[in-house]
Structure 1
Amino acid sequence: MSDKDTHTYLEINGDFRMRELDHNDLEQFNALLQYAFQVTSYELFQTGWEQEEIKYAKRPILEDAYVLGWFYKENLASMIVVYSMQINIQDNIMAMGGITGVTTYPEYTGRGLIHSLMRYVIDYMHKKKLPISFLYPYSIPFYRKMGWEIVSDKLTFTVKDTQLPKAFPVRGMVERVSLDSEDFHNVYSYFAMQHHGALIRDRLAWDEYWRWENDDMIVALYYNEEHKPLGYLVYYIANEIFHIKEMVYLTSEARHGLWNYISAHFSMITQVRGDNYSGEPMAYLFEDSEIEETIAPYIMARIVDVESFLQEYPWQIQPEDFKIHFRVTDGLASWNQGDFLVSWHEGETTCERVEDNQSINVVELDINTLTALMMGYKRPTYLYDHEKISMEYYMLTWLERLIPVKKPYFSDYF
């Protein structure tokens, strides 16, 4: 190691050294991202990016996030990024660690670099009091081994022009606005505060929302007759197809108004394609319900700190003087391994780690299943029937009563 090397290394293994990245690593950081995600400079130039824009497009990550990497000698070999974010968990806003930029150059794979980085960032999130983490998986089996689990789906739909809904009378109207419209941001903020699983978008989250997006993207807002914004569409039109990136509405009036707006493009398009993140199919709402809908897993989550998460969790009921023991297994986070006693008294929830010697009201499960359960992605009965939870049958009634029924909504990508 050079005498001039002032970096603090978390781990050293031969010529491999693990450390946090800083602004001096921007060029190597950007090069690894572009290589791993197959984004070439030529492709970016074609969409209007200049060289300096490409170079600095990800600078906010190094300024606003925790970026950890393995270096082989002086060359960045592998890395992972953690954003400090917020998420709506059953109408309670919780701190969340957003994982992104998980990548390794192919010549360094098979050395366990990502696995060790994951261990460090889980510990980092625990110390930073981020009780839950979200990520978009490149490999579901890989992340499942690390304790993450699917918690929301993306439903992709295709509607033919002949299946578009007939105009529904509404008093308001749709207006196209700028991508950074305050009304646009306010509608989403209000929506996110009402919907379990939704990301609370700050400046960094909005930057990620638009990063590498098509320059032809349009935002259209629905305003009621008092000119109050109640919904929006983010979309573009190409090759006679109306592509919906996101549709959000706060009222049925706004939903009708937005579909009226889409249907008004009838002469320009042959079909509408979009993604729905509500967890519920859309076909029922169409007069012609024979639309195409496909479902795919979308986002994964992991409870980072079981004790603090269960303490903060907004249980559906708070049964007086009732106790339940969650016996959790977690191979990567020792602080999550054990028996957690949750109890309620006079409207207050208490969660504490206790000695593993309890024999009543015990629910045994791993960290993956606990995450899917508490996020409402799968109900207790489903998990019990598929042998994901071990407990006495009578506890099903309690779990079904305790855990809210809302399904997660998560439409972001980072």
Structure 2
Amino acid sequence: MSRQKLQDRLKMKKVEPSHGEQFNDLLRYVFQVTNHDLHTFGWENREIAKAKLPVLKQADVLGWFDGDKLISQLAVYPFQVNIFGEIYDMGGLTGVGTYPEYANLGLMSQLMRTALANMRERQQSISYLYPYSIPFYRRKGWEIISDKISFEVKDTQLPKLKTVAGNVERLSIDHPDIRDVYRRFALNRHGAMLRSELAWEEHLRWDLDDLTVAVYYDDNQQPQGYLLYWIAEEVFHMKVMVYMHGEARAALWNFISAHFSMITRVKGHIYTTEPLAFLLEDSDIKETISPYYMARIVDIHRFVKQYPFLPQTTECQLTFTLHDPMLEWNQGKFTLKVDEQGRGQLMEGGGNPEAAFDIQTLTTMLMGYKRPAYLAQVGRFQAQRATIELLEKLIERKIPYFADYF
């Protein structure tokens, strides 16, 4: 059969809960999840299907069908993120996959265009995803906006105990104080996800059964931090540590150090630009930085309207051209005006452009992951020095924190 005839018989439509088994089978094939993997995490096929059912009910799941067979798919979660103190509706792209015999037909590009248009209609002006191929998603308009630092600390390098006013308690993973701490943390951390019930389910979906939670309570018995961890083969594995202040961080490291006689190493991940080594007395530890999540602006007009630029002494403006490889409404010449309070207004057209961006560069710059001066230096855009200095003054100096996975 010719490829044209094959394409003609394919239909794009919404993936419903009744397609749950096919949705699941395609995910397992594309990401090579084996039965051994499932048993390692204590999952069975029926449990995965049951766990993924909320995705098909709550997410926007699109697919290509060959007759009744689901052969290509993606899902968009309805999430929210904190961007410099403003809460944005975010489309979380996941479950992306196509069976190899249907590759190179442009199916995924069409699914993505439709999904992005749907995000725009839902006023989700930004999208996040975990990249299984950074070059592929860059070509579609996404760019890196966060890092993950993996570390390994020997038992002899654990920090010495510090005096704190409160105490640490081990609790069940569904204790409400954990969600209370994270909610307060996320509301004060640029880039972080504000977790709905669905987001919490995804955050914990693939964790081992013996995952434990330690919560720090201050001297007023208020929860101020928590640690998700497990211990296996004399290794203390830290999934994530969340804390509201330095005292909570010190208390949680006290708790880890209390396991000195039980472990030989501590391994884990942190999702901040502050390497752990500097905080330890013995800083000669192993740390590996790797890119983590990517993002792309879906609707430049809505994104800018909500974006909190830094306040200025006088109103300022910038005319630029923007290129988006997939979305026509993000294409063309725009003029940005920012008033003294930092409120931005974007208008189409303007005078001579002072800079030219692609959507990838503009996304990572406005998210604060890379500074304007750096991006200009490495050739991601060209502009006069005055324009670069203006962008530096407009964008707050904070790098996104993102510890979720979906």
Give 1:51 deviation, angstroms: 4.7
Structure 1 residues 383 and 348 mapped into 2: Cα distance closer, same or farther (>3 Å)? Answer: closer
Q: Write the distance in 2 (CA, Å) between the matches of 1:178 and 1:280.
A: 29
Match of residue 359, structure 1, among 352, 359, 366: 352
Work out the CA distance in 2 between the residues paired with 1:38 and 1:345: 51
Please tell me the residue identity of whatever aligns with 2:346. Answer: E
Q: Check 1:43–1:284 CA distance in 2 against 1; reply closer, same or farther (3 A cut).
A: closer
Is the contact made by 2:311 and 2:341 (CA closer than 8 Å) also made in structure 1? Answer: no
The yes-or-no answer on 1:290 pairing with 2:284 is yes
Q: Where do residues 3-18 of structure 1 align in structure 2 (5 Å cutoff)?
A: 13-18=7-12
User: Partner of 2:194 in structure 1?
Assistant: 200
Range moving further from structure 2, 324-333 or 98-107: 324-333
Q: Deviations over 1:30-53 (max 9, x none)?
A: 111122222234542454334532
Aligned to 2:362: 370
Spell out the pairing of 1:12-161 with structure 2 (5 A cutoff).
13-161=7-155
Distance 1:148 1:327 in 2: 18
Query: Shift of residue 70 of structure 1?
Result: 0.7
Deviation readout 1:251-303 (Å, 9 max, x if unpaired)? 11101100000000001110000101012211111110101101000000000
Give yes or no for contact 1:81–1:101 (8 Å, CA) kept in 2. yes
Q: Distance in 2 between matches of 1:51 and 1:153?
A: 32
Q: Gaps (5+ residues) in structure 1?
A: 1-11
Change in 2 beyond 3 A, CA 1:138/1:51: closer
1:306 aligned onto 2:274: no
Contact kept, 8 Å, 1:319 with 1:344, in 2: the verdict is: no
The one-letter code of the counterpart of 2:398 is K
Distance 1:374 1:319 in 2: 20
Provide the secondary structure at the position in 1 that maps to 2:293.
strand
The answer to whether residue 188 in structure 2 is matched with residue 210 in structure 1 is no
| Counterpart amino acid of residue 89 in structure 2 | A
Seq. identity, % = 49
* One-letter identity of the residue aligned with 1:287: E
Q: For 1:42 and 1:381, how far apart are their aligned partners in 2?
A: 48
| Structure-2 separation of matches of 1:43 and 1:94 | 35
Residues 328, 189 of structure 1: alpha-carbon distance in 2 compared, 3 angstrom cutoff? same
Matched-pair contact (CA < 8 Å) for 2:308–2:344: no
Instruction: Check whether the contact 1:96–1:134 (CA below 8 A) recurs between aligned residues.
Output: yes
SS in 1 for 2:24: helix
In the alignment, structure 2 segments of 5+ residues that lack a partner are 1-5
Q: Secondary structure at the match of 2:292?
A: strand
Match of 1:173 in 2: 167
Within the candidate set 318, 323, 326, 2:317 is matched to: 323
Residues 191, 400 of structure 2: 8 Å contact kept: yes
- Whole-Å separation in 2 of the counterparts to 1:375 and 1:114: 26
> What is the TM-score normalised by the length of structure 1?
0.94
Q: Deviations over 1:72-99 (max 9, x none)?
A: 1211101000011100001111110000
Once residues 99 and 190 of structure 1 are traced to their aligned partners in structure 2, the CA distance between those partners, rounded to angstroms, is: 25
| 1:383 matched to 2:368 | no
Output the CA distance in 2 between the equivalents of 1:61 and 1:15. 27
Aligned match for 2:390, one of 390, 398, 405: 398
* CA deviation after TM superposition for structure 1 residue 339, in Å: 2.1
Counterpart Cα distance in 1 of 2:360 and 2:340:
31
Per-residue deviation, residues 311-346 of structure 1 (Å, max 9, x unmatched) = 111112244331112321112100000122221346
Bigger drift between 396-405 and 139-148 goes to 396-405
Aligned match of 1:3 = none
Counterpart-to-counterpart distance in 1, 2:156 and 2:341: 54
Distance 2:45 2:322 in 1: 49
Task: Report if aligned partners of 1:338, 1:353 keep a CA contact under 8 Å in 2.
Answer: no
* TM-score, length basis structure 2: 0.96
AA aligned opposite 2:321: R
Instruction: State the distance in 2 between where 1:46 and 1:389 align.
Output: 47
Q: Is the 8 A contact 1:307 1:340 kept in 2?
A: no
- Which of 233, 246, 255 aligns to 2:249? It is 255
Q: Any conservation in 2 of the 1:41–1:54 contact (CA below 8 Å)?
A: no
CA RMSD of aligned residues (A): 1.5
